[in-house]
């Protein structure tokens, strides 16, 4: 099979198309004929050597999101050949990432793709959708409490805003002027201009601070002043400072959701109900993965770039 992999860490040019033996499904596993794999910032970090560099198996295959068709299935899994599925992949795990023609996956890592969605659209949901679910679980807010979402225009931010509103939370989201229409469409209660002074702008609406903040923009110490005393702060790049004032920092690790197929299926239903919006920025042939990484790192992409096989 063909894989898009890294033999030596570096820039987008480090991605190469390689031929390797076909994998096969083992006990409790399925094999997915990958039709689409979403491209995310996590992939570019891995490619550059910023993730698992000392222990990563080479050639390293990026990609945490796949969608395709099951073409092998252990009978114990309950899945059938021909099922159209989406799955989360672990580049640092046994089966590596999703940039490949065939992905072997444990039965608990996948769900049917949402009705009415194509493979590219479905591939944008697993990693960021499950990241958003874990965030809300760890922050443990109750209906009527407030959540600030930094990076609301990004894919994770989109899901955070929509899931938080679905949960009955009061949501304040940041947005640059060029993204204001997109973020408004997600349905937050308040929108503030993004930037270094975002905490002050949030405090204009919440003088005592918000109950919690999800820092998908990696603002760290610039965002934490928006949180009230004894509030919660979700970090996605493992910010480790103590913000004081009784604020609890919650590191979010989507790898812990590798076997959260039931949660992924719940996200599928929310897409079908119209609660969650899937956005594809562009569909790019897998052999042009270098181009996808260059575009993502250049900034300004809204929705996911998706590799199609």
E strands, the chain, in order: 2-6, 15-19, 29-39, 65-73, 84-88, 102-106, 110-112, 146-150, 170-175, 190-193, 210-215, 227-235, 248-251, 280-285, 304-308
Is 80 exceeded by the pLDDT of residue 34?
yes
Supply the mean pLDDT for the chain: 97
Q: Is the pLDDT of residue 139 over 90?
A: yes
- pTM for this prediction: 0.97
Mean pLDDT along residues 20-41:
98
Cross-strand partners of 3: 18, 100
Q: Could you read off the pLDDT of 63-95 as tens digits, one per residue?
A: 999 999 999 999 999 999 999 999 999 999 999
**In contact, 295 and 305? CB cutoff 8 Å:** yes
- Unique residue bearing structure tokens 């769900």: 111
Q: Please say if the pLDDT value at position 274 is more than 90.
A: yes
Q: What is the CA radius of gyration of the chain?
A: 19
Q: How confident is the model at residue 55 (pLDDT cuts 50, 70, 90)?
A: confident
Question: Has residue 308 got a pLDDT over 80?
Answer: yes
Q: pLDDT tens, 243-261?
A: 999 999 999 999 999 999 9
Q: Which tokens sit at 59?
A: 């050639």
Which tokens sit at 303?
């929705």
Give buried/exposed letters for 75-110 (b at 16+ CB in 10 A, else e).
Answer: eebebeeebbbbbbbbbeeebbbbbbbbbbbbbbbb
Q: Is 252 helix (H, G, I), strand (E, B) or coil?
A: coil
Can you list the domains of the chain with their CATH numbers?
2-125+278-308 (3.90.180.10), 128-254 (3.40.50.720)
- Residue 43 is predicted with a pLDDT of 98
């Amino acid at each position: 099979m063909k894989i898009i992999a890294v033999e030596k860490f570096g820039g987008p040019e480090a991605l190469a198309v390689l031929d390797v033996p076909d994998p096969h499904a083992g006990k409790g596993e399925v094999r997915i004929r990958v039709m689409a794999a979403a491209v995310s910032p996590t992939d570019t970090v891995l490619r550059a050597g910023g993730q698992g560099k000392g222990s990563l198996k080479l050639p390293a295959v990026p990609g945490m999101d796949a969608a395709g068709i099951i073409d092998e299935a252990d009978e114990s899994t309950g899945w059938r050949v021909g099922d159209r599925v989406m799955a989360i992949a672990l580049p640092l795990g046994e089966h590596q990432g999703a940039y490949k023609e065939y992905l072997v996956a444990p039965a608990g890592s996948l769900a049917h793709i949402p009705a009415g969605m194509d493979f590219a659209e479905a591939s944008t949901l697993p990693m960021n959708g499950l990241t958003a679910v874990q965030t809300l679980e760890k922050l443990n807010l109750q209906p009527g409490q407030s959540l600030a979402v930094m990076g609301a225009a990004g894919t994770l931010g989109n899901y955070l805003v929509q899931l938080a509103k679905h949960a009955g939370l009061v949501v304040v989201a940041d947005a640059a002027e060029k993204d204001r229409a997109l973020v408004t469409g997600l349905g937050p209660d308040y929108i503030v201009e993004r930037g270094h002074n975002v905490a002050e702008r949030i405090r204009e609406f919440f003088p005592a601070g918000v109950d919690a903040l999800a820092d998908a923009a990696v603002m760290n110490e610039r965002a934490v002043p928006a949180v009230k005393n004894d509030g919660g702060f979700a970090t996605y790049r493992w910010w480790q400072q103590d913000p004081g004032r009784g604020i609890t920092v919650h590191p979010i690790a989507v790898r812990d959701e590798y076997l959260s197929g039931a949660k992924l299926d719940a996200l599928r239903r929310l897409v079908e109900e119209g609660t969650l919006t899937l956005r594809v920025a562009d569909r790019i042939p897998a052999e042009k993965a270098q181009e996808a990484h260059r575009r993502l790192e250049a900034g300004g992409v809204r929705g996911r770039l998706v590799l199609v096989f």
